[in-house]
Amino acid sequence: MRTFLFLLILFNLNFSAQVSNFNSSLDSIKTILSSTPKLGFKAENKYFSLGSDISGVRELKPYIEYNETIRFGVGYCWLKRINGNNLRFNAITFFGEYLINLNDSWAAEIPLDFGFGKIRSNSNGYYQFFEPSFIIEYKGFNFFNIGFGTGLRLSSHDKMVYDKSLTVQTLILRLNLKFVEIYKYILQVTDT
């Protein structure tokens, strides 16, 4: 009986500590989201292998960034053609990212993308995906950042259009424009 009571008290203390940490995390997120957002724009190329072909998905993604910690955005992605195959797809993407600032020049990002759209070959069908990834970004330039990383694109699509799997590991190359800094520079140049 004493062992049971001891375990019950231990569990209760542990649970209380976890609830306290969770509430602290929620307060931190509320503080971050109450900061003034900055606008940004990313262009990404994601490369992957399907069979013997190397293909690339292009993505354009405007976003808002809070406190250099969290980003949210909507974008558009497309695959024009795989070598020797008429396969194409395009999709609207939604994403959120958590940024870990390592120092003044480097950051790590954990983005989650999901999207839905159309796949085409000889006929049309649906295409949807979910892609968690990890990206390292260099922030040392004045008007843009560059990044590289990897992800796993888990996809579902109409098998009547394309019968092979489109779930692939991706290699990510990124160019990220800093619109707020570009705008400030243009204002500064026009004022002189």
> Does 108 share its domain with 148?
yes
> Does 28 share its domain with 59?
no
pLDDT of residue 54: 81
pLDDT of residue 21: 47
Mean pLDDT of the chain: 83
Q: For tokens 């259009």, name the residue.
A: 161
pLDDT of residue 17: 44
d(CA 86, CA 128): 19
Dihedral of CA atoms 97, 101, 104, 106 in degrees, nearest 10, equals -70
For residue 22, pLDDT beyond 50: no
d(CA 112, CA 92): 14
pTM of the model: 0.76
Q: Determine, yes or no, domain membership for 191.
A: no
Res. 12 pLDDT band, cuts 50 70 90: low
pLDDT in tens, 74-117: 999 998 766 556 788 999 999 999 999 999 999 999 999 999 99
> Does 87 share its domain with 4?
no
> Does 108 share its domain with 125?
yes
Q: Give the strand pairing for 168-177 and 144-157.
A: antiparallel
d(CA 62, CA 180): 13
Share of the chain above pLDDT 70, in %: 83
Q: Determine, yes or no, domain membership for 91.
A: yes
More confidently predicted of 181 and 25? 181
pLDDT of residue 146: 93
CA gyration radius, the chain = 22
Range of the domain at 6: 1-34
Q: Determine, yes or no, domain membership for 192.
A: no
> Does 7 share its domain with 62?
no
> Does 80 share its domain with 27?
no
| CATH code of the domain covering residue 111 | 2.40.160.20
Q: What is the distance in angstroms between the CA of the first residue and the CA of the last residue of the chain?
A: 81
Q: Determine, yes or no, domain membership for 115.
A: yes
